[in-house]
Amino acid sequence: MQPQVDAHNASQLNIPIPPPTKESRDQALAAASKAGDVANLAVKNARAAMQKRLRGMELKKLVRPDDLKIAHKDMEKLVEKGHADVKKATDSARKIMEQA
């Protein structure tokens, strides 16, 4: 890749980028899938940490059982939303990369 001086603006350099090959698209798709897996794992680990905290509160009787159930429901809603957001982002990235 050799930079070229723009014909209309002498202070601007253009770098021609070759079109993506099948191999580079496959690598990009694999990277997107891996990033999605890492993000899902992070959501899963956050859920596990919160489960641990809530269980500790339950054992020490720091919160009422009703509040604990509400906290569990709210946490599960957030986890589902997190997984859905990751899936949506991964799918849209995959779709864009397949079209390129």
Helix 65-99 / helix 22-59 crossing angle, nearest 10 deg: 180
Note if the pTM is more than 0.85: no
Residue 6 phi/psi, 5-degree rounding, is: -70, 140
Q: Report d(CA 90, CA 100) in Å as an integer.
A: 16
Quick: pLDDT tens for 39-83: 999 999 999 999 999 999 999 999 999 999 999 999 999 999 999
